[in-house]
């Protein structure tokens, strides 16, 4: 058994919380291992004035960390699962998915006003096209503004940029101690989360059998099944989908239920479906749900992503 493990992580407060969380899980199983956390800056951290879709999409927060992992300068990488592209670089695998946090989106309102009671023309900030599309579909009278930056930055911008409220992941708010800031949480069937939202993934080299063995001891199987079915859903649209996509899977009593959605960025078109299957078929269920949505009208949205 190796004596030291090197974790690669982004340097934001939330990313370091996640790296520390994985460190604590490993230490609980392997108290003799010394664990170091190495901070790595990604293009998503450096470029804050451009939409993510323009600087690499999902890969914007993982590419540099994966390159460091492939160079053997770290032993594992910790990511928010929703930031990890469905196609991994050759030689890398997801070694573990920690027990998932609450995947819902949350509203933080300057005046404590709930979403349904926001005034006509209210200014709502979000970093996500998926949230934007669903917000506009529910409330086309609202103005949605792009809001980049870490959780702390977005909460600060709520107070300084003339916004009425912002929408962001509940998991990040709770992990950083901002639970009291939350005005309300959206049910997953009202604002469908991003695939993998709320889950922490641990990536490692496919040939590092010792690390894979260590990570198998901290993997939470129901969480892994749920997020991999959501990723299979995303793969059904080509994996690097440039239109708003939401998906949430839940595992209960050997069954998996998946809600999926694809939308136009302006929220005018939304195609939503759900499926329930045996948990053994979690990947094929995600892919089948994508096919159902494409057949139901999703192909029209995919063919005109800027609409």
* Sheet with strand 200-205: strands edge to edge: 34-39, 4-9, 76-80, 200-205, 92-97
Phi and psi at 114, nearest 5°, equal -75, 160
Neighbour-count burial of 17, counting CB atoms closer than 10 A to its CB (0-12 exposed, 13-18 middle, 19+ buried): middle
Question: Nearest to residue 150, comparing CAs of 100, 80, 220, 236?
Answer: 80
The CB density around residue 117, as the number of other CB atoms within 10 Å, is: 11
The CB density around residue 287, as the number of other CB atoms within 10 Å, is: 16
- The DSSP bridge partners found for residue 273 are 260
Angle between helices 282-293 and 221-235 (to 10 degrees): 30
83 in active site: yes
Question: Nearest to residue 33, comparing CAs of 69, 9, 2?
Answer: 2
**Separation between Cα atoms, residue 107 and residue 113, nearest integer Å:** 9
Per-residue tokens: 4: 């030291």
**Separation between Cα atoms, residue 191 and residue 204, nearest integer Å:** 32
Listed in order, strand segments (DSSP E) in 105-222 are 105-109, 123-126, 143-146, 165-169, 184-185, 200-205
**Separation between Cα atoms, residue 93 and residue 142, nearest integer Å:** 41
Dmax (CA) for the chain in angstroms is 61
Active-site choice (45, 83, 105, 164): 83
Beta strands 255-263 and 270-278, pairing class: antiparallel
Which residues are part of the catalytic machinery? 83
């Amino acid at each position: 058994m190796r004596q030291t493990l090197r974790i690669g992580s982004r340097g934001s407060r939330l990313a370091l919380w996640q790296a520390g969380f994985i460190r604590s899980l490993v230490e609980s199983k392997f108290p003799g291992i010394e664990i170091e956390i190495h901070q790595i800056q990604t293009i998503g951290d450096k470029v804050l004035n451009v939409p993510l879709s323009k600087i690499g999409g999902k890969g914007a927060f993982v590419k540099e960390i994966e390159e460091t992992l492939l160079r053997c300068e770290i032993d594992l990488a910790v990511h928010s699962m929703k930031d990890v592209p469905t196609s991994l670089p050759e030689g890398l695998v997801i070694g573990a998915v920690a027990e998932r946090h609450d995947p819902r989106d949350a509203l933080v309102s300057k005046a404590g006003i709930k979403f349904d009671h926001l005034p006509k023309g209210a200014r709502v900030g979000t970093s996500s096209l998926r949230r934007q599309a669903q917000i506009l579909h529910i409330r086309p009278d609202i103005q949605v503004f792009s809001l980049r930056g870490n959780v702390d930055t977005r909460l600060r911008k709520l107070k300084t940029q003339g916004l009425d409220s912002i929408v962001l992941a509940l998991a990040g708010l709770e992990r950083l101690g901002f639970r009291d800031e939350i005005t309300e949480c959206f049910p997953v069937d009202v604002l469908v989360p991003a695939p993998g939202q709320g889950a922490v993934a641990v990536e490692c080299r496919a040939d590092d059998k010792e690390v894979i063995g260590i990570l198998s001891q901290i993997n939470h199987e129901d969480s892994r099944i749920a997020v991999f079915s959501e990723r299979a859903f995303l793969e059904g649209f080509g994996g690097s989908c440039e239109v708003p996509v939401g998906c949430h899977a839940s595992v209960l009593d050997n069954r998996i239920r998946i809600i999926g959605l694809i939308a136009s960025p302006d929220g005018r078109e939304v195609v939503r479906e759900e499926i329930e299957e045996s948990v053994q078929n979690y990947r094929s269920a995600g892919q089948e749900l994508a096919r159902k949505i494409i057949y139901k009208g999703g192909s029209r949205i995919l063919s005109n992503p800027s609409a």
